[in-house]
Every structure is written in C-alpha cells, then in structure tokens.
Amino acid sequence: MDLLKNECPTDWTVKIAERQNSKRQRQRVSKGVWMITTKRLFLIPWHASDADELYELAKDPEIGPLCGWEPHKTLEDSKQVLANVLSDKSCYAVKDMRTGHLIGSMSLDFEEIPDPKDSSKQLHQAEIGYWIGRPYWGQGFASEGAQALTAYAFEEHGVDQVIIRYLERNKKSASVARKCSFTEMGTITDFNKYTGKEEQFGISMLTKVDWERVQK
C-alpha cells in the first residue's frame, strides 16, 4: 500500500484537538496503520504534502549525519525519501499538536529473534527509531514520542522487548533512551542501510517486565 497516494485528511488538527479530552490515544487510519497521540504530539502516516517541511528540517547538516544519512540537498531529495522510505507503514510523521507543523520522524519495526535463553523459542521484538528537527531540540519531544511508541508496541502488539538502536556517536539518542527507562546493552558493529557502510551502534533495551514495573 502506498500511503502517499491516499488522500490526506485536511482536518487532522481539529480531530486531534477534539480528542485531547479523551483517554483514547490511538486511532486506526487504515488496515495496519495507526495514528498515535500524546499530550503534545500526534504521530501519523507520512503524506506527499509533507515534503516541504521535511526538506526544511532534513537539510540541516546537524541532523542526518547523527542518524546515519546524508542531509537532503534539494526538495527532490525529500520527495524521493518520502516515496521510497517514509511511505512504509512503520514510519510516522511527528507533528506538533498545537500548530500541526512537522517536527521530526519516528519509526516502529517488528521482528522475531531467537531467545538467547532458549534457542528453541522466538522473541517478538520491536525497534524504535527517531529524529527531531533542530528547532525543536531540548523540549522532550523525542522521549514523549518514544514512550508512546513503546506503550503501543507492548499494549497492542504484545512484544517481549523494545530496542532503540543509534549511532554510538549520537549521544542525544542515547540520552532519550535512558529517559524512557531503557537499559544500555552495549555496542555492536552493524550495517548502516542508509550509507551502505559498517558502523558502531549503541543498543538500548526495555523488556516487557521492566516496562510493566515502570508503569506501576
């Protein structure tokens, strides 16, 4: 399904504002695709109309290199990323609930991995990714969004654990993971799908047991 070809509702902000007084924090947009809201944010599928705002944030040389990708050089770069990467249902545009403006991007992927304690079993794991535009740094938006995706992964998908993977040099991402009660598990050398190179990544993890303990 190409999300960018779907008609984008023009009253997202109105709908979100109406639900601010509601306890509901998730709404199905289409099959397998959800809109997630927090106190200040809403995370929704990307749309082609987001290209201009994406370019304004992603052209910043302080953003891409910390996340493992090249800064966008032209608006066409942003359009291509929207069409080929961000159109996946695992990706969310992060928008300011008050203004409706784009402030960053988040993703939530799922996979089955071998249980290190029992090789005959599989663990259901989610991985969260994120970046926030520099004008919005230092306001807690990344941790707010990551906490919402973490809750969604545990509550709606019943995962056993959630991980956050970040370039080892990206200290801000490591800090976000700590604020969300994730435990640093160490570093690994892994393939960076954006650059095509092997790089050092930090891994932080939160198990369902630890998440439930934090919620009490």
Tokens of 150: 């973490």
Which has more confidence, 54 or 16?
Answer: 54
How many angstroms separate the CA atoms of 107 and 92, rounded?
6
Cβ neighbourhood burial of 140 (10 Å; 0-12, 13-18, 19+): middle
Tokens of 126: 């989610």
pLDDT band at 203 (very low <50, low <70, confident <90, very high): very high
Segment among 78-82, 194-198, 205-209 with least mean pLDDT: 194-198
Structure confidence by residue, pLDDT tens digits, 50-67: 999 999 999 999 999 888
State the pairing for strand pair 118-132/161-167: parallel
Q: What is the pLDDT of residue 180?
A: 96
- Counting Cα atoms < 13 Å in the Cβ hemisphere of 213 gives 7
10 Å Cβ neighbour count for 183? 12
Structure confidence by residue, pLDDT tens digits, 147-166: 999 999 999 999 999 999 99
Mean pLDDT of 31-49: 86
Cβ neighbourhood burial of 66 (10 Å; 0-12, 13-18, 19+): middle
10 Å Cβ neighbour count for 196? 7
pLDDT band at 35 (very low <50, low <70, confident <90, very high): confident
Structure confidence by residue, pLDDT tens digits, 93-146: 999 999 999 999 999 999 999 998 888 899 999 999 999 999 999 999 999 999
Cβ neighbourhood burial of 18 (10 Å; 0-12, 13-18, 19+): exposed
| Average pLDDT of the chain to the nearest whole number | 86
Q: What is the pLDDT of residue 171?
A: 92
Q: What is the pLDDT of residue 3?
A: 35
Q: What is the pLDDT of residue 13?
A: 42
Q: What is the pLDDT of residue 22?
A: 38
10 Å Cβ neighbour count for 108? 25
The SS3 call for residue 131 is strand
All structural domains of the chain, each given as residue ranges with its CATH number in brackets, are: 3-215 (3.40.630.30)
- Is the pLDDT assigned to residue 24 strictly greater than 90? no
- Is the pLDDT assigned to residue 10 strictly greater than 80? no
Mean pLDDT of 63-87: 94
Mean pLDDT of 2-8: 36
Q: What is the pLDDT of residue 150?
A: 97
Q: What is the pLDDT of residue 138?
A: 94
